């Protein structure tokens, strides 16, 4: 497949750690962005814990809310990645906050009556040293698809460490081959789908 020349991707990293603390979710997002850049895309990483994202389901929750600037990055992107750790078998609370803020876009439509996020491609990355990656991926993809995002084939990548031990993804030293292959497939398929949607949008809503 020839690489895209004009795709833009934004990674919303939902670690609970503010920068500059090391984070496995940030590391995986960096690896995904690196893979997307090899396909010709431009990328940006947003560490959501570093911003004041107010609770709510509106595009702008008023004074002090820093979500609108992040929202604009999402609107400008063709590919949106959510990278999250697993906590107690669920996505991090920040990932849920991001989904709740994106819920506002269901009532925002383009000139053809389509949800404004339609035509954008979603990727999900999950890290954790407990079980639950498939459930977290399913929860996030369900929400993102409801909002209007398209899900590519094999559009996720993840790493689960052995349960009840303390090794994190960032502590591994090198990326496991299985994770590297999965990341490569996810980014390749996401870029392919995003390019198709740029050249052929979904039909008008009547």
Arithmetic mean of pLDDT, 118-124: 97
φ/ψ (deg, to 5) at 27: -60, -45
**For residues 41-63, b (16+ Cβ closer than 10 Å) or e, as one string?**
bebebbbbbeeebbebeebebee
Ramachandran area for residue 163 (φ above 0: left; ψ -120 to 50: alpha; else beta): beta
| pLDDT tens digit sequence for 19-66 | 999 999 999 999 999 999 999 999 999 999 999 999 999 999 999 999
The kind and range of the H/E element at 38 are helix 24-38
What's the pLDDT at 129? 82
- Higher-pLDDT residue of 130 and 73 is 73
Whether pLDDT at 4 is above 60: no
Share of the chain above pLDDT 90, in %: 84
Q: How far is residue 82's CA from residue 141's CA, in Å, rounded to a whole number?
A: 10
Q: How far is residue 190's CA from residue 152's CA, in Å, rounded to a whole number?
A: 5
Q: How far is residue 103's CA from residue 101's CA, in Å, rounded to a whole number?
A: 5
What's the pLDDT at 1? 44
- Higher-pLDDT residue of 106 and 156 is 156
Q: How far is residue 158's CA from residue 166's CA, in Å, rounded to a whole number?
A: 17
């Amino acid at each position: 497949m020839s690489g895209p020349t004009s795709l833009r991707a934004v990674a919303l990293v939902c670690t609970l750690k503010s920068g500059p603390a090391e984070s496995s979710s940030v590391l995986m997002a960096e690896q995904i962005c690196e893979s997307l850049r090899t396909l010709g895309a431009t990328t940006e990483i947003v560490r959501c814990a570093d911003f004041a994202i107010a609770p709510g389901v509106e595009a702008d929750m008023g004074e002090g809310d820093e979500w609108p600037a992040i929202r604009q990055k999402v609107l400008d992107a063709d590919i949106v990645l959510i990278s999250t750790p697993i906590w107690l078998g669920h996505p991090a609370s920040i990932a849920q906050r991001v989904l709740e803020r994106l819920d506002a876009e269901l009532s925002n439509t383009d000139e053809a009556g389509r949800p404004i996020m339609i035509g954008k491609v979603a990727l999900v990355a999950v890290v954790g040293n407990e079980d639950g990656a498939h459930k977290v991926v399913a929860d996030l993809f369900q929400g993102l698809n409801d909002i209007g995002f398209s899900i590519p084939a094999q559009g996720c990548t993840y790493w689960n460490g052995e349960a009840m031990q303390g090794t994190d993804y960032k502590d591994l030293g090198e990326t496991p081959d299985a994770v590297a292959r999965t990341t490569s497939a996810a980014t390749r398929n996401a870029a392919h789908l995003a390019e198709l949607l740029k050249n052929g949008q979904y039909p008008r809503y009547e």
